[in-house]
């Protein structure tokens, strides 16, 4: 029994923050941001908008595209590090919004690798034979934890994401392999120090801006290229594949230079690499499902194509996944 993706969808909030908008609030330039990252704009949530709202839009589209009623969804997995609340879970809010009366679900925190962790988790439920339909959504509202006085980080991120419905298949199609990793020795390099049980919110913690994401950009960059390239090469090798066998590579969209370096190390030509970071920035757990959904909408995936996914993020977490694509009406 394999798990296969039978529907994809994506959603980003309406509000757009361009590089030129950022030029007005911090000491930066469109030229610097574009040349260092490939980003020209990002979408950000409005005042009364949160992660569960974006997830709900995606969940509704998924049901419509696959022609399912919400009662047919058995598990809802929301991959995010920017949930609406610590409790209840974002999955609970989405369940209620779509009326999935027979589902259970949970939030999964894997940062930028979250969607790969989610697909792997959902696939295992399906492969067990106990579940037939799992909804996996990756969304982050990174603008809610961005320090818009810190130019080292605030230019990189945006809000949005996408999702997929996983169903069972007795064919050899679907998710065929994955390599997933975590290494907490990298925790301090990309961290939001405040707001959790280590440093609950106090006037002092808020004044010292502990509730924003902080990073050592150079170190993250170095580990990201090596991490994504290593697991991408390893998954190809252990499946007797080369870059030539891959129809499409969808990497986590953190920085165009990280993507280019990873693709080069894996022997993947430019035309096989999906890059949409220019429009959205880094939406953390949202980047891969957002790009996947766009690829499907643009007709970039045909039956039998081998798709390679790879991600790297806070934790550190990283991973790769191979999918033999099957198209669904």
**Catalytic status, residue 10:** no
Spacing of C-alpha 181 from chain mean position: 15
What is the closest distance, in whole angstroms, from the C-beta atom of residue 257 to ligand ACO in the complex?
A: 7
What is the closest distance, in whole angstroms, from the C-beta atom of residue 185 to ligand ACO in the complex?
A: 16
Cite the DSSP H helix spans in 135-209: 151-154, 203-207
Nearer to ligand ACO by Cβ, of 105 and 227: the residue is 227
Please tell me the distance from the alpha carbon of residue 230 to that of residue 181, in angstroms, as a whole number. 11
What is the closest distance, in whole angstroms, from the C-beta atom of residue 187 to ligand ACO in the complex?
A: 13
Under a CB-based contact definition with an 8 Å cutoff, are residues 194 and 210 in contact? yes
**Catalytic status, residue 252:** yes
Nearer to ligand ACO by Cβ, of 181 and 328: the residue is 181
Considering 55, 112, 154, 266, which one is annotated as catalytic? 112
Nearer to ligand ACO by Cβ, of 23 and 49: the residue is 23
Among 43, 49, 48, residue whose Cα is nearest residue 10: 43
What is the closest distance, in whole angstroms, from the C-beta atom of residue 236 to ligand ACO in the complex?
A: 21
Under a CB-based contact definition with an 8 Å cutoff, are residues 321 and 241 in contact? no
Positive/negative CA dihedral, 235, 239, 240, 245:
negative
**Binding stretches for ligand ACO (CB under 6 A):** 28, 32-33, 36-37, 112, 151-152, 155-156, 190, 215, 217-218, 220-221, 224, 252, 254-255, 282, 312-313
Nearer to ligand ACO by Cβ, of 225 and 323: the residue is 225
Please tell me the distance from the alpha carbon of residue 152 to that of residue 225, in angstroms, as a whole number. 19
Backbone phi and psi for residue 51, each to the nearest 5 degrees, phi listed first: -55, -40
The DSSP bridge pattern shows strands 104-108 and 75-79 to be parallel
Considering 252, 255, 266, 326, which one is annotated as catalytic? 252
Nearer to ligand ACO by Cβ, of 133 and 233: the residue is 233
CA max distance for the chain: 57
Residue 104's DSSP bridge partners are 75
CA distances (Å), origin 165, targets 170, 196, 291? 16, 31, 15
Nearer to ligand ACO by Cβ, of 127 and 150: the residue is 150
What is the closest distance, in whole angstroms, from the C-beta atom of residue 314 to ligand ACO in the complex?
A: 6
For tokens 């953190």, the residue is 254
What is the closest distance, in whole angstroms, from the C-beta atom of residue 128 to ligand ACO in the complex?
A: 31
Q: How many CA atoms lie within 13 A of 252 on its CB side?
A: 36
Under a CB-based contact definition with an 8 Å cutoff, are residues 276 and 296 in contact? no
**Catalytic status, residue 79:** no
Radius of gyration in angstroms for the set of CA atoms belonging to the chain, rounded to a whole number: 19
Catalytic residue list:
112, 252, 282
């Amino acid at each position: 029994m394999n798990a296969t993706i039978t529907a994809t969808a994506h959603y980003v909030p309406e509000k757009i923050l361009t590089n030129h908008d950022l030029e007005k609030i911090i000491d930066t330039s469109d030229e610097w941001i574009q040349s260092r990252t490939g980003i020209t704009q990002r979408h950000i949530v409005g005042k009364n908008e949160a992660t569960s709202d974006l997830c709900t839009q995606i969940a509704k589209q998924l049901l419509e595209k696959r022609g399912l009623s919400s009662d047919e969804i058995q598990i809802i997995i929301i991959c995010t590090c920017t949930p609406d609340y610590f409790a209840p879970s974002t999955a609970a809010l989405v369940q209620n919004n779509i009326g999935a009366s027979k589902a259970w679900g949970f939030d999964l925190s894997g940062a930028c690798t979250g969607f790969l962790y989610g697909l792997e988790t959902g696939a295992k439920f399906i492969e067990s034979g106990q579940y037939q339909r799992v909804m996996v959504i990756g969304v982050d509202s990174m603008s809610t934890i961005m320090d818009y006085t810190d130019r080292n980080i605030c230019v990189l991120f945006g809000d949005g994401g996408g999702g997929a419905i996983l169903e069972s298949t007795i064919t050899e199609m679907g998710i065929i392999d994955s390599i997933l990793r975590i290494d907490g020795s990298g925790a301090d390099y990309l961290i939001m120090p405040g707001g959790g049980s280590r440093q609950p919110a106090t006037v002092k913690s808020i004044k010292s801006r502990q509730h924003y994401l902080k990073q050592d950009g150079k170190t993250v960059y170095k580990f990201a290229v090596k991490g994504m390239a290593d697991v991408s090469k390893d998954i190809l090798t252990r499946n007797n594949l080369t870059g030539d066998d891959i129809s499409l590579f969808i990497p986590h969209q953190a920085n165009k230079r990280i993507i280019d370096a990873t693709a080069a190390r894996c022997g993947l030509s430019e035309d096989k690499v999906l890059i949409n970071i220019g429009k959205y920035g880094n939406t953390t757990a949202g980047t891969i499902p957002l790009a996947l959904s766009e690829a499907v909408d643009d007709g970039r995936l045909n039956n039998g194509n081998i798709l390679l996914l790879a991600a790297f993020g806070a934790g550190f977490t990283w991973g790769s996944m191979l999918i033999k694509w099957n198209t669904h009406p």
